[in-house]
Structure 1
Amino acid sequence: MSGDAATSGEAAGTAGTLFLTCGRQAAGKTTLARRLERERPALRLTADDWLHDLQPGVPGAALDVRREDVEALQWQVATRVLRLGADVVLDWGLWSREERDRYRNEARALGAGVVLCVLDPPLPELRRRLAARNAAPDRHTFVIPPAEFEYWATRFEAPTPEELALFDAPPVPVPSPSSSP
């Protein structure tokens, strides 16, 4: 066995930690994911970035038809990285308990720690952030019409205290709801 293999997480049997970002649009998930990427360090997987890179200039709604495929590919990368002992940040939103349960269970099966980073600012703050983001989008930003935001805002399934207890305690402070991303 080579020295590199003997020191990798895979050879040592220790997996990394999976960080799941959870929150509505404009909650600050990508801002937090970038911070975790830098500070841990960790591999950040942001589906929006990949979607925009695959088809630059295509509107968000048209890109969303590929989201499931991109997230499946990112999950393959994430599981490999976790097996190697490195940390991963999934910057996807994870709006439903079903999604969060799936990735938590699969990561635990690999021996990984799993941290759920919940960002849940009040709706007026989210509307303010969304308006600012829509006014000056960068190349990886989805412009979200206010009516679409309102539709989706009611579909977010916030984690319950019982669900939160299933995750490891976050080793980093998550911004408070009143914090700007």
Structure 2
Amino acid sequence: MTTLYLLCGKIAAGKSTLAARLAARPATLLISEDHWTSALFAGELKTIEDYVECSARLRAAMGPHVVDILRHGLSVVLDFPANTVEYRRWMRSLADTAGVLHELHYLDIPDAVCRQRLQERNAGRTHQFLVSEAEYDLFSSYFVPPGPAEAFNVFVHTV
């Protein structure tokens, strides 16, 4: 069945790693926000407000494209952070518009683990973006775990 896979979790929780595993399934395409924002907006991303603006622009461009891909029978792993109710509402609208199943993978990873992974990621320069402790705290302050009222098919991942 064609499925839209969504990922929810704090920075360095392992969303992109899980996204790659999900995308290894047959007839499944990975679309990564970090890839597109680093390619299109790297020079513009200096504040959280910049991220919000650039992410909105990318979502506006990608939304109809994702729906078309889903309607053609390919599943999509949307490696965009489904970390707020608003973002998840947008993602859910894609699945609903395309008439496909959805899975929300929630990586419920403790802050201490995320911070350690972030330090390792930054030191190894294995990611498109370096994120400071202060930026981690700022982005994490906006994080909202998925709730039952959102009616997602939720798969919880822990350490």
What TM-score, normalized by structure 1, do the two folds share?
Answer: 0.75
Larger gyration radius, structure 1 or structure 2: 1
1:133 corresponds to which residue?
Answer: 121
1:115 corresponds to which residue?
Answer: 103
Matches within 5 A, 1:72-111: 72-111=60-99
More strand by share: 2
> What is the number of residues matched between the two proteins?
156
Among residues 32, 39, 46, which one is paired with 1:61 in the alignment?
Answer: 46
What is the CA RMSD across the aligned residues, in angstroms?
2.3
Could you tell me which runs of 5 or more consecutive residues in structure 2 were left unpaired when the two chains were aligned: none
Structure 1, residues 43-98: CA drift from partner, whole Å, max 9, x if none? 11111101222366x48537735322222222222100111111011111111122
Structure 1, residues 25-44: CA drift from partner, whole Å, max 9, x if none? 10111111111111244111
Q: Given that residues 45 and 74 in structure 1 are in contact (C-alpha distance below 8 angstroms), is that contact kept between their aligned partners in structure 2?
A: no
Among residues 125, 128, 134, which one is paired with 1:147 in the alignment?
Answer: 134
Of all paired residues, the percent bearing the same amino acid is 33
Distance 1:69-1:102 versus aligned 2 partners, 3 A rule: closer
What TM-score, normalized by structure 2, do the two folds share?
Answer: 0.85
Distance 1:102-1:66 versus aligned 2 partners, 3 A rule: closer
Could you tell me which runs of 5 or more consecutive residues in structure 1 were left unpaired when the two chains were aligned: 1-14
Structure 1, residues 110-168: CA drift from partner, whole Å, max 9, x if none? 21101101112000001000100111113x521011111112212210012443xx223
